[in-house]
Each structure stands twice: as C-alpha cells, then as structure tokens.
Structure 1
C-alpha cells in the first residue's frame, strides 16, 4: 500500500490525529485529574468477556470465539456466514472500540465534538472533501450478499456496544458513542483511499516548483522514475492471460504528453490547498517515503516444496493500537484468515483454504486539481460543526462539476476556485464487494471477477493458489487522460477532462509468468514500451526495495523456502548507501569530527542494525542532504534520495546555497556532513562510538488522541529500538527531526501454499486496544525481532486459549 517518493512540503505541520493530544486545550487541573484517575478508570474497563457464554439477538445459530495465546479470535459459525461476520464485529468492538470510534469520527469530520476547537481545521478539511457523503453514496451500489454481511457485522458491533463495555478513551473524553451503522463500515475505506491514492500533494508542490524554478525544476526536485529500473511486469508478462472478454471500449494506447502549467496558482490558492494537506498530515494521512508496501509471489518452479509462496508487508503508520487485527473466520461457506481492520467486515489481506493474496499500493494518478474559470456554476451547502466547549461553527462547502472546492474555507474567499476530481469521491464505489468476494474466491477466475468490482485505492494484488497458479492484478478506476498527464493543475474549462477509465481487462495483470516471480514494492508497474499509462512518472516509489527483493530472490533461482522468504522480508541492507557510497566518501571533511565520520562509513557494508554507528551517520547525513531545495523553494521540503543523488553527481544547481556560502556540490557535501555530525553530537554526546542507531531510531507506535498528553502518553504509547532505514526492504525511514520510525511494516505475512496452516503472520503491536490489557503490545517484541505467529486454523497451533460461545436469543 504506497510509498510516496517525491519531495513533500512540511509547511505548517500540525500534530492532531496521531499527535492530537497536546493541542486539546485542557487546563493543567484537568490534566492532573486525568493523571490521578487514569489507572482507576482503566482498571474498571480493562476486561472484555472472552470466555463463558452470551445470548445475543441477531444470530441465527451458535458461534464459538476461541482466542489463542496472542488474543487472535478463531471464529466458528455453524448456521451462516453472516453469523461469522456478526462475531467479527462483536470482537472488533470488544478489543478496538476507541479505534473504530475515532476512525468513523475522522470520516464524518466530527472530531471537534469530543476533542474541542483544536480539531476544527481537521473537521473543515474532512467535511469539505466529503468522505462521509462518498461512503453514503457507495452503500446502495453494493451487491446483496455484501449488504447482508455488512449488516450482520453492524449487528455484532452494536451487540458488543450494548453490553456496556466502555473504552478508556470514552471515559477520559466524557462521551458515549452512538450505535454503529452500515455506512460506518464503508467510511474508513474512503480515508484509506486518501492515504494511499492520488497526487494532490504532488500537484501542489509541482506548482510551487514551477513558480520558483520554472518547468525544468520539476525534474530536479521531483525526479521521474529512472530508465532501466525494475518494473512490476515486463512487456512479455503484461496481459499474458486475459480471464475476462476483451473490452468493447476504445483501448488506451497512447501515453499522455507531459503536463505543462497552463495557469499559475496564486499564493492564496496554494495556501488554501496546503492547509488541507496539513490537516490531513496531522491525522496521520500523509504520503511519506517509506510508507508503502512489499509483496511478492514465487511459483512452485522456484520453491523447495514445488508449491507457491506468497509474502506481503504493508508499510503504513505505526499507531497504538495497531491498524490491523488478526482474525480467523469460518462459516458454512467462508474460510478466511489474515489481517482485518476494525470497522471493516472480512479479511483484507490473507488466505482461505485455496487462495492467498497480498496487496501493495499501485499509486496511479487518480486525482486532478481544476482551476475553475470565473462564473463556473457551483453548488453550495452548509455544514454545522459542533465543538466541545464552544459554539457551533458553520462551514460553507462549494462544489463544481469536477468536485469540491479545496482552495479555501468557504464562499467568502477570494481568488481562483480550485476543485478536486477524485475517483474515490464518485458514486458507485463497490470496493467492499471486491474485498468480501476475495474472501470466498476459490481460483483465479473468481479472484479476478471479485477484483472487477474494485474501485479505490488501486492495489497491486499478488495471487497464489493450492493448485500452483500465481498471478498479479492492479485493479481500480484509473482515469484516461488524452494529451496531458495530470502532473499539474489544469483549467476547468472543459479542455482537460477524463475520457473514462481504463477498462478492467486492460489493467496490468498476468497469470503464471514464465520466470515464476512477481515482485512489487510501489515501483513502476509497466515498462516504457507499454502504451498503458497509470499516471505521471513521478508517482512511483524509488526502485531500491524492488531491486533488493529481486536481487535476493534471484540469487537462489531454485529451492526457495519459507525461511528464505522470511530473511528477505526482514532484510535491512541499504541499496541507497550502495548508490551514495562513492560520492559521499569523496567528501572533503570539514574538521576532525567529519573526518572520523567518513572513516567509520568507509568500511560499512550498508546493513542498518540497531547497534550500527555508520547507520546513524548515514541517515543523519542523508536527512540533511534532502533539504537541498529548501532555499530555492522557500519552504521546508524533503527531496527523495534519487533527486539528491542526481544533483550531487551532476553538479546540480540545487547544491548551491550562496546565502550559506555553499557554491558547489563539493561544498554542500562538506557542509551537510559537518551539520549532521554536529547534530548527532548534540543529541548523543561527544563520543561517536556511542552513536549506535538504536539510541535514536526507535519505533513510535503513538496513540491517536493521547500520544502527546504527558499525563497519559506513557500509558498509551509504545516504543522500541528498530533496525532498517530509508528504502530498506524492512523499511524504517527515520522521521525528519526526530529519527523515530513512525511508518513501517504494519503487518507481515508469509503464506506457504504447500501447507497453508504452516503459514506465518504478525502485527506491529498487539490485538488489544486497552493499555492495561494483556494483548496490547505482546506482538511488538516478535515484530522487532523478526518472529511470527502461526497463521493456522488448527487448534493445536493456538497455544493456551479461551472460548466464548455466542448463542442466538431475543
């Protein structure tokens, strides 16, 4: 799921959402009261019923919920699959009530009701974009079976809610959540689509670059995907098997020409657009390097067992509680185990008895900014935002034919109206059909039929089955643009309109590729020789992870095992260092500390372990170099590694900073190394021998409400030293300014199709959401160490367990 690979503006970054709590505006007395009463409140609400029996209305027959030693529920429904989804909703609310409530409040733009005025900017952004309205429009489009399963899930959530269990966060914030609705199970998927799709931020940054540096500056700051770097599919693999009939629509055969700015955006419009991006970032919804995923599938011709192996590890924000919830679902027709998301019915990533699947983000360009001409017809509505402890706020939202106006806060704003067109805000979204149908798929035909219902966010699906087939598909609505590529804002005068969507049968896919290997790491999907275009060339992640995975797997072309795949998934060797090594080591040291740092780097093999000093030096230096464009753009921006390397190798103009006395790339290397070493000395002391990576580089699983409240953060947040770095396979990019790992492999799975119950999976933290619960963080130790849980449906593999029986009743 996606790693953005271009420069990202950091202007006005706020800390609401994952870092919301410091801005709640509570008084010191309130904080002291919370600190003194927190443990008492938490003790009173820390235990969900996990054993015994309950009689619940809405069930057709009995259901057993067996929680294994890690708190993973193994759900067995006898009468119907709806009962299995009912039980999933029940345990989701038992273990993750706050996460579910927070997620739906984000989608609805109703954070201010419980968090106060500090959440107003976030609510304005959320209401303007209309995530909840989009979810409401999607519900009627779903298939009958999906509607039944969603409704059963909703009933299960409400059954758990009716038991009176109160999450600690509800007590602290002083509110009672409303009943769950079917649309609540769709709304978070819209936020995931935002998190993983589109390119509005690239368009905003691109506009800034063009304004400051001209059109030529785009290639310098936002380097296109390099020629010759690995693509997911080769030309001979693309469309190798077509499980569906050939489309009747006009094929997409022409790559669009690169966009050129057709109308300048004034600073007022850029500020308005940036405000929306900042609000999204404060909620943890941001595209940062290292936020993406790896997945791959290996055919039996390459494995020791003669059957496929499939691996996946989605790289997302590492929160407390973790995003994912491991689960095993069985009903009369349903057999699925893997990773679910509380609030959503079904298994998102995992396997059933015959089929396994994994996902990473494709990141096609599915968003466009339109500069509406004066007098363009607009529809207007008023949203009322309720604010805790303050009067209601009225928000005027405008929409054009393209979508919501996102360049300002209301009708009174002056300047050009900039509208957002985005596939995820359009009607008829049947993505929930796709995910639930995948849970049932028994073969490639059924799998791809399910994917034909997929809308957003577009994902790289890898596939394997027990019969030995392997495959790949990139479903989703991808706009067809004729004569422009969507990289920059365009006029809304009708000259740059979408010509429909790429037909499903023409989207990138393959079945049983000849080389027996498909690797995806958010890299470019199809080669330049293909006429198919999924967006502009700056959308893709840097190729380092894809290169390293392929390199390791192809080093052993036969006899690969689950243990081999596990080593690849956990690899922390930096190909970025391999690329930078020569130019960095040629640096003229500016002082003794810089000279000593270069000597330490000279013998380094690039393996980013927690006890490595060179890892610390390299990441600190790279972090400094990534600010090359700040003086030119006038805003804090981080260039990606390839853009920096191109400047250093080619004596690029961005190396120069005359205000700082830097007149060449050689000067920049010397200056940036000195600044990085000085910074590390301030952080870690004067002795470089003690600058081990793990002292600074720690995973930060942060609570979305209390992560910055001093009285409570210690209880809700979780941290540990972690290996890996910028663009390693086990991705763990240090956060600018803090060196914390805030994004990474939020979930890992390795599925062995020769023995599915011997498969492996693990989450980044734990099943529970209550900070006093036994399963709140018991997977983190395994996750850091590179260990896994058995992805097994066999009771013998579950260890010590508890059994809760749910019985139908009135």
Structure 2
C-alpha cells in the first residue's frame, strides 16, 4: 500500500508539473502576444505626440495634436496590435495566397481569387486616389508596420509557423474589393437562372426567383424621386450553357462560400433616419445594423479617431484606414446594401481576342501550382476551372474590377463631411459596392443617397449570361445626379432594408425585379416607427432595431396551420404553433418548430435544381398559395402542396426529436439557435476550435428586423447584425454602438468576447467622445522619433 501511495504521489507530482508547464506556456503566449496599451513609446513616422486611450471595452480613443495623418498612423497601429492575424488573413485572401500558409486545402480559394484578380484591382485603384487619401493611406501603412515592429506575435502565426510580411499601401485598400464581392453583383443569380431555364423553362424563373411584390415598400416614393417615367422595355435573353461549364462557374461560388463570402436568404442590413418632426428632441435619430457573416474575430473594430480636423467615431475595418460607418461631430451616416446588378457574364465568341497571364501559387508542403488566367475585353474568363477550354469561354464584367476605383476617397470624405453638400460631394466618388446611405446632421437635416457605378443596359436586363459579340454592351453608368436620393423628405422618414429602392417609374434599371430582398424587414420597421407618429426616442429606436417578431410566420400561418398532420409528433408540434404570436426568442418552442419546418419547405426545388438551391420565404408562400409545381415530387409520391406540407412537417419534427428528444415541449429555441462566430482558419479544427470559436444563444429568425436566419442544417446563426449603431443628433454623446464579439482578436487577450454578451442581450456601448463615458481606461502615448 505504501508503494502504491508513493506511486500515486509521483503521478500527482507529474500532473502538477505538467499543469505548471502548461500555465507557463499560456503566460508566455500572453506576454509575447498581447499588445502594449499603456506607457510611452517613441516611434518614427509621427509629426507630433498622439495619445491612445483604450476604454473599459478596449475601444481606442485616438487624439493626435499635430496632424490627421498622425491619427491615421495610430489607427493602423491599434488595428495591428489587436487584429494582426485578421489583417494578414484578409490580405492573403485578397492576394490569393492562402495556400502558402494553409496548404493544398486552400487551392480552390486561391484559384478563384487569382482568376477574378481582386488584388490586381486594388493595385489599379491606388493611383486613382486623391493626394489626401494617399497621404492617409501612407500614414496608416506606417502605423501598421510600427505595430508589427513591436514584435508581439499573434498565436495564429506561431501555430502556422510563419512571420507576416511588411504592410503596403495596396494592402490598406485591398479588402474593400472583397467587400465589394460580398455585397454586390448577381453572378450567382445568373447561374441559377440558367439552371432554371434548362430544367423548368421560362415560367420557372418567377417560381424560384419571385419578383418583388407590387405592393411591397420601396425606399423612395415616386414623388421623392422627382424623375421622369421609365422608357422602353427589356427582353429576356435566353442563355444555355453546358452542365460542365455551369459546374466550372459554380466552383467560384463554392470557393467564395468556403471563405464566408456568400449570398444567403436574409443576409442584408437595416438602416433608417428619422426627421426631427418625429422625435422627442426635435433632432434626427439615425440607426444602422449591417448584416454580414459573423466571425471570430468580428469584422468590425470600434474606434474614435481625432486629429486637428478629423473627428470620426464608429466602426472601422482592420486593414482599412478610416471610419466606415459612424459619425463625426456634425454628421452621421449609415449604410445598407443596394445590390444593384453590376456584374454580367459574357459568352465569348471563338473569334474573341484573349490575353493571358500566369499566376504562381505557392503551396505549403507541396509543389508550386501554375495558374493560367485568360481575359477578354469584358474581363477574366471564369469558366476555365474544371471545364478548361472544352466549353464556352465565359467572361465576367464587373464594376469593381474596372480601373479608377475611388471608393476610398468617398469613405474618407464622409469622415470629414460637415453638411449635405460635403456628404454628396464625397459620395460622387463612390464606385462599389453600391450602398443605401442614410444621412443626418446636427442642424436637423436628413437625407438618403444610393451612390456607385450602376451600368446602363439598353434593351436587356442583365439577369442571364449574354453573347460577347458586342450586341449586349454597357452604354455607360447612371449619372450621379440621377441616382436615387432625397434630402429632407416631407414625411421625415427613410427606411432601407435591402428592399426595392425605387418604384417602377424610375427611368433606369438598378437591378432585376428578382434581386431585391423580401419586404418583410422594411415593412416591419416602417410599421413600428409610424405607429408612434411623434415623440420617438433613442429607446424606441433600440426596440425597433432589436425586434424579433416574424412577419414571415404571419404570412405563412394560415397555410401552415391548415396542414393535416401525420403522426402524433407532427400533431403535437402543430398544436404548439397555433397560439404563437411569432416572437422569436430563445425561450420559444414554436420558433424552433417553425424555423425547422421553413427550412424543409425552402428545399422544395432541390429535386429539380440541386441541393444548393433554396427558395426564399416569398417563393415558399407563393408556391403554397398557388398550389405550385415545386410542391410536387413524383419520386416521393407528393402530388400537391398538401402533401408537401404534411411530409415537410414530418421531416422537421423527426430531425428535432432526434436532436432534442421526443417531447416537443422541451424544444426551446436557444438550445439550437446559437450564434456561430467561428475562426476563419481554425473554426473546423477540433483541437483548436474551442479556443478560437465563440457562441451564445440568440433571438431572432428568418427576416425578422433583428435578423438571425438559422442555418438550414444546424439551426445555428452564421449571419446577422455584425454591428449596431444609433446616433442621436440632439446630443451626439448619447449615441450608442456595439459589435458582435469584441475588440480583441487574440483568444488569450483582453476584450475578445465582452461585446457579444451585450450584443446578444440587446445592450449597447456609449458611442461617446467624452472621457467621462469611457469607464476604466489605459493610455499609451506615442512620441515622434527619428
């Protein structure tokens, strides 16, 4: 027994030593990776002293005395300090250089990124920027490299075993090209349209991609437009492509999806501006919440950046200089995606002249891969992957790949805008991705503008691939002065939620009528705001931004409740739905049943068009109301929509029972509906995912204002409000904002997830430049040096 006791004590000492060693490693990693956030450092490249005061949530409040360039230098520094890995990863995405550090598994993504030429487009954009913008970019780049020189190494660099390269000016604007892809174009809709025509005929287009409802709300009314009537019509250009070519074109979408860049139903944004005649203070209130993929680290980085003239606070993106969404001391702005049709696929004739270039992709642990990229006058040939030269040569034309992109000039101009004139002058330089900008200022003015290059097509609508023989060419862009806009609208309200921008009387085509988001969010926001015609407060606007009532449920309720259930489990689930008010909270059981059922219904076109095809809620409603053809499935013996409702409910409850148990009363939404803020590189690596991924139960659902569409397979939330802000123009420092996760990118550091708790609970941080609102602070002083 004594021997066994000695052995036990020996094992205990071994365990203790292992734990001490592990703790030592963690402490070492924290010391060598966490940035310096207090004290004084001397850095070359500054013209005067700068203070960086981080508040209780890690938000930096930058104060530069000598120049605005010094303030931008400091922003580059803090971006690298807190988000080094994110910045390098995003840079590698834009360059198509993921395989260098992730290995052969990233080759499909690199081929897609190199073929489209995102980084080349950024290189061509830099010389087009104004001198002020180039100065700010140079200062930001210097700040990033100053942060890199502090030699604090993010854990991801140690795990993957490489050292990041110095930052360049092109790197400072390159990510904007990926944002343009994520938020613009209809490449995927063109491919889906071809598949629909091949399998369902022309009538299938309206069934799978329903037009925007004639009675749906538009952002601007005919009176607000003040423009002439629409002239002429368009023809539907029939397009046929071989299946091999479609698969090659689809490969780009699959690669983008692996990078988290995909268009999903319900991915969009909300913003609105309320005039002073509707508010309690008599001054405007402006709200915005962009809906994007949720990741770890979060996309946005909150910052307050001030120099002698610069006075901007809000949401920045690590790797990009300046504030993207936010306010200064006079003006506030918010953005949502317009999603105009700015991409076209051209089927090039055999006589088309092509140029070629060779891209060399370095692969970690493998041989270099040589990629030949061909281009026509329209753009890169995007059909070469898989199909090669055997099928039609399909080229991509896209505004974001055109030379002379001055979008950064526009965003920097917003940071400096003092009034509507400055605001619109900045937006005149905007190229892509086209956004719905709402505006408010301290003088009480409100406005809206939808800037960007939108092609003019004469006699065709761009919804399908077209011949590249010169018969279907862009004839220019919609003039800036005739893009949708309004200033001080009479009703004191502009609401945008990716819905149709303008009525059919608008003389230009912004997008195909099937491209707009469904009207549910826009309708709900408008209803809530107009229910209280006057006296609206910041708290009222918070309640609207956080609303989780499903208009989709209200639309589908009579159709779903008419279902004849098959089996006891379906009957019990249907009974739980009968008294539900449509409020989608984590405690709700009907929310779980409804979303699982809706996911099954949205798959009803997959037997015709493939497993990647999902209908939106509007298409589901239209099919069920009209007894549509998509309800039928001869292979499963489904004859009509009654059969589809019965069988889809059965599949949904069976899946839920297998996951949550046999009692539907225990199927609360929060058990399955959790946000998935996953790491881009390690999110699916079991040994590391626990450290880098972050999750929490969330409210909301498909097309609620607080949008939180569940993934159809897992019911987890992967997209949603990536950032929220509400600006009170009566007292700017009463404004609020919050991100989806936290300021920190280092999982061993501070402020990694402290905003996620607030975000999920519907709370906010003070969007204040007043030190009294910052809580406990730490200040780093930067002094200029040689």
Above 0.5 in TM-score? Answer: yes
What residue is the counterpart of 1:433 in the other structure? 409
Q: TM-score, normalised by structure 2?
A: 0.96
What residue is the counterpart of 1:233 in the other structure? 220
Distance 1:256 1:353 in 2: 46
Distance 1:397 1:382 in 2: 6
What residue is the counterpart of 2:127 in the other structure? 140
1:76 paired to 2:63? yes
What residue is the counterpart of 1:520 in the other structure? 496
What residue is the counterpart of 2:236 in the other structure? 259
1:768 paired to 2:752? no
What residue is the counterpart of 1:294 in the other structure? 270
What residue is the counterpart of 2:293 in the other structure? 317
Q: Is the 8 A contact 2:279 2:285 kept in 1?
A: yes
What residue is the counterpart of 1:91 in the other structure? 78
Q: Is the 8 A contact 1:395 1:410 kept in 2?
A: no
Of the three residues 175, 182, 186, the one matched with 1:199 is: 186
1:442 paired to 2:418? yes
Q: Cα 1:256–1:426, aligned 2, differ >3 Å: closer, same or farther?
A: farther
For each residue in 1:378-407, what CA deviation from the matched residue of structure 2 results, as whole angstroms up to 9, or x when unmatched? 000100000001010000000000000001
Once the two structures are TM-superposed, the CA of residue 610 in structure 1 deviates from its matched residue by 0.1
Distance 1:396 1:731 in 2: 41
Distance 1:36 1:110 in 2: 34
1:731 paired to 2:732? no
Once the two structures are TM-superposed, the CA of residue 375 in structure 1 deviates from its matched residue by 2.3
What residue is the counterpart of 1:365 in the other structure? 341
Q: Is the 8 A contact 1:702 1:716 kept in 2?
A: yes
For these two proteins, the number of residue pairs brought into alignment is: 766
Residue 218 of structure 2 aligns to a residue whose secondary structure is: coil
Structure of higher CA gyration radius:
2
Of the three residues 43, 51, 56, the one matched with 1:64 is: 51
Residue 254 of structure 1 aligns to a residue whose secondary structure is: coil
Distance 2:508 2:456 in 1: 10
Once the two structures are TM-superposed, the CA of residue 606 in structure 1 deviates from its matched residue by 0.1
Q: Cα 1:591–1:399, aligned 2, differ >3 Å: closer, same or farther?
A: same
What residue is the counterpart of 2:721 in the other structure? 745
Query: 1:457-606 residue pairs with structure 2 within 5 A?
Result: 457-606=433-582
Query: 1:401-416 residue pairs with structure 2 within 5 A?
Result: 401-409=377-385, 412-416=388-392
Once the two structures are TM-superposed, the CA of residue 530 in structure 1 deviates from its matched residue by 2.2
For each residue in 1:617-660, what CA deviation from the matched residue of structure 2 results, as whole angstroms up to 9, or x when unmatched? 00000000001111112443110011111010001011000110
Distance 1:371 1:759 in 2: 51
What residue is the counterpart of 2:38 in the other structure? 51
Distance 1:466 1:711 in 2: 52
Q: Is the 8 A contact 1:203 1:487 kept in 2?
A: yes
Distance 2:150 2:610 in 1: 55
For each residue in 1:433-478, what CA deviation from the matched residue of structure 2 results, as whole angstroms up to 9, or x when unmatched? 0000100000000000000000000000000000000000000000
Once the two structures are TM-superposed, the CA of residue 258 in structure 1 deviates from its matched residue by 4.4
Residue 455 of structure 2 aligns to a residue whose secondary structure is: coil
Distance 1:273 1:109 in 2: 18
What residue is the counterpart of 1:348 in the other structure? 324
What residue is the counterpart of 2:10 in the other structure? none
What residue is the counterpart of 1:10 in the other structure? none
Once the two structures are TM-superposed, the CA of residue 256 in structure 1 deviates from its matched residue by 4.6
What residue is the counterpart of 1:246 in the other structure? none
Once the two structures are TM-superposed, the CA of residue 708 in structure 1 deviates from its matched residue by 0.9
Residue 322 of structure 1 aligns to a residue whose secondary structure is: coil
For each residue in 1:192-231, what CA deviation from the matched residue of structure 2 results, as whole angstroms up to 9, or x when unmatched? 0000000000000110010001111110011011111000
Distance 1:164 1:283 in 2: 28
Q: Is the 8 A contact 1:697 1:734 kept in 2?
A: yes
What residue is the counterpart of 2:7 in the other structure? none
1:305 paired to 2:292? no
Distance 2:452 2:467 in 1: 26
Of the three residues 660, 668, 673, the one matched with 1:697 is: 673
Q: Is the 8 A contact 1:252 1:532 kept in 2?
A: no
Once the two structures are TM-superposed, the CA of residue 36 in structure 1 deviates from its matched residue by 11
Once the two structures are TM-superposed, the CA of residue 774 in structure 1 deviates from its matched residue by 1.8
The runs of 5 or more residues in structure 1 that have no matched partner are 1-34, 241-250
Q: Is the 8 A contact 2:354 2:377 kept in 1?
A: yes
Residue 231 of structure 2 aligns to a residue whose secondary structure is: coil
What residue is the counterpart of 1:716 in the other structure? 692
Of the three residues 362, 373, 381, the one matched with 2:357 is: 381
Q: Is the 8 A contact 2:310 2:415 kept in 1?
A: yes
For each residue in 1:396-445, what CA deviation from the matched residue of structure 2 results, as whole angstroms up to 9, or x when unmatched? 00000000000113895311000000000000000000000100000000
Distance 1:123 1:698 in 2: 31
Distance 1:780 1:446 in 2: 35
Q: Is the 8 A contact 2:30 2:749 kept in 1?
A: no
What residue is the counterpart of 2:160 in the other structure? 173
Once the two structures are TM-superposed, the CA of residue 41 in structure 1 deviates from its matched residue by 6.2
Q: TM-score, normalised by structure 1?
A: 0.93
Residue 700 of structure 1 aligns to a residue whose secondary structure is: strand
Distance 1:239 1:134 in 2: 36
Residue 237 of structure 1 aligns to a residue whose secondary structure is: helix
Distance 2:169 2:467 in 1: 38
Once the two structures are TM-superposed, the CA of residue 374 in structure 1 deviates from its matched residue by 1.0
Q: Is the 8 A contact 2:456 2:508 kept in 1?
A: no
The runs of 5 or more residues in structure 2 that have no matched partner are 1-21
Residue 779 of structure 1 aligns to a residue whose secondary structure is: helix
Of the three residues 295, 312, 326, the one matched with 1:336 is: 312
Q: Is the 8 A contact 1:98 1:769 kept in 2?
A: yes
Residue 297 of structure 1 aligns to a residue whose secondary structure is: strand
Q: Cα 1:713–1:38, aligned 2, differ >3 Å: closer, same or farther?
A: farther
Distance 1:780 1:349 in 2: 19
Once the two structures are TM-superposed, the CA of residue 253 in structure 1 deviates from its matched residue by 4.7
Distance 2:369 2:275 in 1: 57
Name which of structure 1's ranges 35-44 and 582-591 shifts more when overlaid on structure 2.
Answer: 35-44
RMSD of aligned alpha carbons: 1.4
Distance 1:621 1:42 in 2: 46
